[in-house]
Amino acid sequence: MDDKILSIYLDDRLPTPLYIQLFVQLKSLIAEGVLKPNEKLPPIRKLAQRLGINTITVVHAYKKLESEGLAYSVVGSGTYVASPSRYEPQLQRQEEDEHLQMMEKGQVQVSKDAINFASTTPTPDLFPVDSFKILINKVLDRDKGQAFGYHQIQGYQPLRESICHYLEKFSIKVLTDDVHVISGAQQGIDIISKALIEYGDCVFVESPTYRGALEAFKSRGARIVEIPIQEDGIDLEKLEEMLSVYHPKFIYVMPYFQNPTGYSYSYSKKEQILQMARQHKTFIVEDDSLSELSFTKEQPLPLKAFDAYQVVIYIKSFSKIFMPGLRLGFMVVPQALRSRVISAKHTTDISTSGLIQRTFDLYLRENIWQEHIEYMRQKYKKRYETFLKAVKESFPVSVKYKAPGGGLHVWFELPPGYNDQEVYARCLKKGVLIAPGSLFYHQTHDTRHFRLSFAAVNSEKIRDGIRAMGEVLHQYVEQEATLAPSSQEYSPLL
């Protein structure tokens, strides 16, 4: 047992309470099968001594494991890892858990009739299949077999030129050699992790953040430090405090319509985070999948547009505004990192599909792209307005949110004491799928939020789904106010 807990690392300078840090890491060890069913957990005093923490902290963590059905205690003996059979779940409960576990891995399993507010993926009716057919045929007629060979690791040169030209519209001036074509933003995040992170390195993320990024950083053995996000961007005070303690390899941010909160950075915060990155000699990884989808007059400029010091690695996804299955995106990478990034891309998939790169190049060159973006923006704007109107009419006022003005999702806050997983389970019974907020954290314990996206639902279904959710929420937060779900929260025994 002793070596099994060697990997546990707690840090009292982090905003997450120590007992939650310990709970999360024990939970991971159980999920990974390192700690086996019915195996005894280390005695409280011994573990506390070993980690240099108070015994109460260990008690809190063990109690939390018990309350989640992951451990059980035997009087006079100790605490043990639960075996699945010991807490035989109800069939319904099991189904909910499976859904949640799949969501943690970035997938949602949806029945045909379900109204899916959990997914931020556009519906296929929005995909520009007709123009794609015309352009792909043009490429085949023009390039023949050339389109099917291996392509340059960094990407098809004419496409990289078109991307440079496209970026000028956003005040980003770069050379073709700074542009790297990737097979989707997720691959970009993974390649950057591969190129920069060594086991035990520290990475800063906004909290909450995009789950796919957390998983990529964890897979490289990164120590993840969560910095809270506020309505106008990352908490700079906390960031400064943490930068004075750690030296992160990079700070991973989404300055526009952040996933999951929908928040965007103010100009002042953009300026300050760039200054801080420069001062502390670290990079910023800017993940931009939604900046085109502003529904107000203000058209946001990416952080990269202000990057005078070459500290920003810009990752652009086309999945939400084009077709996610094409697996296409690009990065703009500071020169100092170019060769490392090329090596990482090479060992990942050699190069992104040449046929797709050539076809997308024609979208940019023949000015079809701008038309397409405008079409998507109008479609999504309509869904956004329908969504907000329905929410205003149906949700209890005690469920709070901030209209993001763009993007594809809205972040909701439940009143104190109410729980995202409970809302998730109740909605699932009504055929409505939502994303519980707790999925978007690394160690922070927050169960009061959920994210709803209108990307994958048409207007009629948005109205039906939000109405059904409104009934669920009214019943939960109003009629059950006296049940005080907060009483389920852990209170220490000692």
Q: How far apart are CA 251 and CA 463, in angstroms?
A: 38
Measured from the CB atom, the residue of 259 and 438 that comes closer to ligand PLP is 259
Q: Which of 185, 209, 179 is nearest to 319 (CA)?
A: 185
Q: Determine if 369 is a binding residue for ligand PLP (CB under 6 A).
A: no
Nearest to 427 by CA among 122, 114, 211: 114
Q: Does 104 bind ligand PLP (CB under 6 A)?
A: no
DSSP bridge pairs for 288: 316
Name the residue with tokens 């035990």: 200
Residue 120 sits in the site that holds ligand PLP (CB under 6 A): yes
Q: Taking the complex as a whole, how short is the minimal distance between the CB of residue 188 and ligand PLP, in angstroms?
A: 7
> Of the listed pieces 37-45, 161-169, 182-190, 225-233, which binds ligand PLP according to CB under 6 A?
182-190
Peptide bond before 260: cis, by omega within 30 degrees of 0?
A: yes
Nearer to ligand PLP, 319 or 443 (CB): 319
Residue 42 or 436 with smaller CB distance to ligand PLP: 436
Closer by beta carbon to ligand PLP, 329 or else 404: 329
Place of tokens 């307005």: 385
The distance of closest approach from Cβ of residue 184 to ligand PLP in the complex, given in angstroms and rounded to an integer, is: 3
Residue 237 makes CB contacts below 8 A (sequence gap 6+) with none
Nearer to ligand PLP, 250 or 418 (CB): 250
Give the one residue of 69, 212, 405, 415 binding ligand PLP; rule: CB under 6 A. Answer: 212
x/- site string to ligand PLP, residues 229 to 268, per CB under 6 A?
-------------------------x----x---------
First and final CA of the chain: distance in angstroms?
25
201/287 with CB nearer ligand PLP: 287
Residue number, 184 or 354, with CB nearest to ligand PLP: 184
What's the distance, CA 434 to chain centroid? 15
User: 284: part of which helix (H) or strand (E)?
Assistant: strand 283-288
Residue 107 or 370: which CB sits closer to ligand PLP?
107
DSSP for 169-233 reads TTT----GGGEEEESSHHHHHHHHHHHH--TT-EEEEEES--HHHHHHHHHTTPEEEEEEEETTE
Figure out which of the listed residues 261, 317, 394, 419 binds ligand PLP, where binding follows CB under 6 A: 317
Q: Of the listed pieces 164-172, 181-189, 361-369, 475-483, which binds ligand PLP according to CB under 6 A?
A: 181-189
Closest-CB residue for ligand PLP?
184
Please list, in sequence order, all residues whose beta carbon lies within 8 angstroms of the beta carbon of residue 96, skipping any fewer than 6 positions away: 424, 425, 428
- Restricting to residues 183-202, name those near ligand PLP by CB under 6 A: 184-186
Distance of alpha carbon 451 from alpha carbon 385, whole angstroms: 17
One of 15, 158, 324, 405 touching ligand PLP (CB under 6 A)? 324
**From residue 100, how far is each of 45, 378, 433 by CA, in Å?**
34, 32, 11
Nearest approach in angstroms of CB 6 to ligand PLP is 33
Q: How far apart are CA 4 and CA 50, in angstroms?
A: 13
What are the phi and psi torsion angles at 16 (to 5°)? -75, 130
Q: Which is nearer to ligand PLP, 208 or 465 (CB)?
A: 208
Residue from 178, 287, 307, 420 binding ligand PLP (CB under 6 A): 287
Where along the sequence are the contacts to ligand PLP (CB under 6 A)?
120, 184-186, 210, 212, 254, 259, 287, 289, 317, 319, 324, 329
